[in-house]
Amino acid sequence: MQKSKFDRMKRTGVWLDKEKAIIVTLYNGDMSTNTILSHVKNFHVHSGSGTRLKGGPQDVVQDSKYLEREKHQLKKYFNNIASEIKDDDAIVLFGPAEIKDQFNKELRTSYKDLSAKIKDVVKTDKMTKRQVRSWVKIFFESTN
């Protein structure tokens, strides 16, 4: 059986949220899956007074320090994903949160060659690895 030109293309779906990215690659009729953990820490900032009295001393919370740390962690996460998909021909980004949009923005800014390969950015619910694999297969079958 002759392989179509789509089988020779490396087509990849990246489902991502703040915790992990599930990367599904279709190539030569095979499907492979890889998971990249984000290692982005959720910072729970505790502030307020150490007393129950109204007008007591207040702790100053340095939100910018936590946001800056998260920004650097996200940049490293995005770099890890970009390294994994750098040789792919067609890419779809999907997931439940705005992280997919932030990643797409990072691609447009720092990885223009990868950004040109983005076929779509789709909002989806949380998914199991099996659901992600199925979603990617259906997405690329419908775009042939």
Architecture of domain 5-42+61-142: 2-Layer Sandwich (3.30)
Residue tagged 């998971």 (tokens):
35
Whether residue 81 contacts residue 40, with contact meaning beta carbons closer than 8 Å, is answered with: no
Please report, as a single letter, which amino acid is at residue 21: A
Q: How does pLDDT run along the chain (144 residues), one tens digit per residue?
A: 445 555 679 999 999 999 999 999 999 989 999 999 998 877 555 555 455 555 555 555 567 787 888 889 999 999 999 999 999 999 999 999 899 999 999 999 999 999 999 999 999 999 999 999 999 999 999 987
pTM beyond 0.85: the answer is no
99-110 helix and 63-85 helix, angle to the nearest 10 degrees: 70
Answer whether 74's CB lies under 8 Å from 107's CB. no
**What was the pLDDT predicted at 49?**
47
pLDDT at 44: 53
pLDDT recorded at residue 24: 98
Residue 76: Cβ-neighbour burial (10 angstroms; 0-12, 13-18, 19+): exposed
3 state SS of 4: coil
How confident is the model at residue 65, as a pLDDT? 80
Residue 1 confidence (pLDDT): 42
